[in-house]
């Protein structure tokens, strides 16, 4: 099957998106619109802005260049109504790509520079998700709160408590379903965040962690053994450690695989076989995720096609059919509609 045949086949496939960041997924048009509304115009045209927001040829292969793309969206996402707006736009785009289960993730603290509290910052995203849910009742939605590693373990503990306060199972609306750490791995090993994860676990949040994207296999071990995660973000380094591969398979720890992003950040080098092959061969569960649809110029559909070109369309259909089991969204724990309106 060629690219367009794969697209046609995979377009209607109900997709499970378990790893997508708000900041890196805001459509460029929406960032441009809000920049103008707030009289913030770092560049003269939408095309120019798009070049700053999306990874360009020649910029691929460096995590720092990749993370730098998150800089401009932060100008506009310091305001409650803008956060609501961008979240709705992300959900509309995801729905069009066939996503039916969507866990967005978001670091509340980096949206507080204009005076929002972390709690308001979380509520803004949830508000956008709840608005979008009215237009897309078929979608299952949840939010994963991210603590940035560079802010240290204490801020992470505060965030875990804030996240619990908005936990899905305590509200009748879309809420927080999970907890994560992200940001520069080296020098910030997962074990430092043990207490924050313990708080999140006691609050019945699902646990995942960015690990093994640029960090060593040991960080993935720590995420599993010390933090108690049931999913790992990227996890590319696991292929260097046979014992770890056996552990991921034995305990059915799911790896959130982001094919385009891994090429863009250099987590997987040009010409290198993507670890997803080894994960599947070892019986490790995987999900296909976009990471950042704008930065990586992709969508859940494009990632499905990219994966199908490597693994075949049948395998992609199986991955999406199975990944829902690892979702942190647990409707059975949600309160009835109208309970806390
Ligand atoms: Zn990520």
Residues whose CB is less than 8 angstroms from the CB of residue 125 and which lie 6 or more positions away in sequence, other chains included: 22, 83, 84, 87, 104, 106, 143
Q: Which two tokens stand for residue 113?
A: 């520079």
Ligand 1 centroid–CA 337 distance in Å is: 31
How many angstroms does the Cα of residue 209 sit away from the middle of ligand 1? 9
Q: Please give the pLDDT value at position 332.
A: 54
At residue 336, does pLDDT exceed 80? no
Measured distance CA(129)–CA(324) in Å, rounded? 19
How sure is the predictor about 278, in pLDDT bands with cuts at 50, 70 and 90?
very high
Q: How confident is the model at residue 169 (pLDDT cuts 50, 70, 90)?
A: confident
Mean pLDDT of the chain: 95
Task: Give 138-153 pLDDT, tens digit per residue.
Answer: 999 999 999 999 999 9
pTM, two decimals, is 0.96
**Both structure tokens of 259:** 């094919």
Cα 338 to averaged position of ligand 1 atoms, centre (Å)? 33
Beta-sheet pairing, 231-234 with 254-257 = parallel
Region 287-315: what's the mean pLDDT? 97
Nearest to 328 by CA among 226, 171, 159, 204: 204
Q: Please write the tens of the pLDDT for every residue from 190-213.
A: 999 999 999 999 999 999 999 999
The rounded Cα 257 to chain-centroid distance in angstroms is 10
Please check whether residue 219 is in contact with residue 190, taking contact to mean a CB–CB distance below 8 angstroms.
yes
- Tell me: the pLDDT tens digits for 85-130? 999 999 999 999 999 999 999 999 999 999 999 999 999 999 999 9
So which residues are the catalytic ones? 213
Contact 199, 165 (CB under 8 A): no
Q: What is the pLDDT of residues 171-188, one digit of tens each?
A: 888 999 999 999 999 999
Q: Find the 336 Cα to ligand 1 centroid distance in Å.
A: 32
3-state secondary structure of 83: helix
**Looking at the predicted structure, is the pLDDT value of residue 293 above 60?**
yes
How far is the centre of ligand 1, averaged over its atoms, from the C-alpha of 309 (Å)? 23
Q: What DSSP assignment string belongs to 169-216?
A: GGSSSS-EEEEEEES--TT--GGGGHHHHHHHHHTT-EEEEEESSSS-
User: CA geometry: angle at 302 spanning 82 and 138, to 5°?
Assistant: 60
Q: Rounded to the nearest 10 degrees, what angle do helices 80-96 and 28-37 cross at?
A: 160
- Give the mean model confidence (pLDDT) for residues 127-136: 95
What pLDDT is stored for residue 173 in this prediction?
Answer: 86
Residue 183 CA to ligand 1 center (angstroms) comes to: 9
Cross-strand bridge partners of residue 106: 145
21 Cα to the center of ligand 1, angstroms: 6
Please report the DSSP string for 26-70 in residue order: S-HHHHHHHHHHTT--SSSSHHHHHHHHS--TTTTT-HHHHHHTT
Domain positions in the chain are: 3-325
Distances (CA, A) of 111 to 44, 73, 118, 121, 298: 25, 10, 8, 6, 24
For the domain spanning 3-325, the CATH number is 3.20.20.140
**C-alpha of residue 195 to centroid of ligand 1, in Å:** 22
Cα(2) to centroid of ligand 1, in Å? 29
């Amino acid at each position: 099957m060629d690219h367009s045949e794969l697209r046609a086949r995979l377009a209607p496939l109900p997709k499970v998106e378990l790893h997508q960041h708000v900041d890196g997924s805001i459509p460029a048009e929406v960032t441009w619109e809000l920049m103008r509304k707030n009289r913030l115009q770092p560049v003269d045209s939408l095309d120019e802005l798009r070049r700053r927001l999306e990874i360009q040829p020649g910029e691929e292969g460096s995590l720092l260049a990749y993370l730098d793309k998150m800089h401009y969206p932060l100008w506009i996402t310091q305001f409650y109504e803008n956060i609501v707006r961008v979240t709705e736009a992300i959900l509309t785009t995801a729905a069009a790509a066939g996503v039916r289960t969507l866990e967005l993730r978001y670091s509340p603290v980096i949206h507080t520079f204009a005076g929002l509290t972390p709690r308001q910052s979380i509520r803004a995203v949830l508000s956008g998700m709840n608005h979008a849910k009215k237009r897309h009742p078929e979608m299952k939605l949840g939010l994963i709160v991210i603590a940035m590693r560079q802010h240290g373990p204490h801020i992470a503990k505060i965030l875990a408590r804030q996240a619990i306060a908005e936990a899905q199972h305590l509200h009748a609306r879309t809420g927080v379903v999970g907890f994560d750490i992200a940001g520069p791995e080296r020098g910030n090993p997962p074990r430092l965040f043990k207490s924050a994860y313990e708080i999140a676990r006691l609050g019945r949040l699902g646990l995942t962690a960015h690990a093994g994207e640029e960090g060593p296999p040991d960080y993935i071990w720590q995420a599993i053994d010390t933090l108690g995660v049931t999913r790992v973000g990227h996890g590319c380094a696991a292929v260097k450690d046979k014992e770890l591969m056996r552990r991921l398979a034995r305990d059915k720890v799911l790896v959130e695989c982001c094919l385009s992003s891994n090429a863009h950040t250099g987590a997987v080098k040009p010409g290198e076989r993507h670890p997803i092959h080894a994960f599947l061969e070892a019986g490790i569960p995987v999900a296909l995720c976009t990471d950042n649809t704008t930065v990586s110029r992709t969508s859940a559909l494009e990632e499905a096609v990219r994966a199908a070109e490597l693994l075949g369309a049948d395998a992609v259909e199986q991955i999406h059919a199975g990944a829902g089991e690892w979702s942190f969204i647990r409707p059975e724990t949600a309160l009835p509609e109208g309970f806390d309106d």
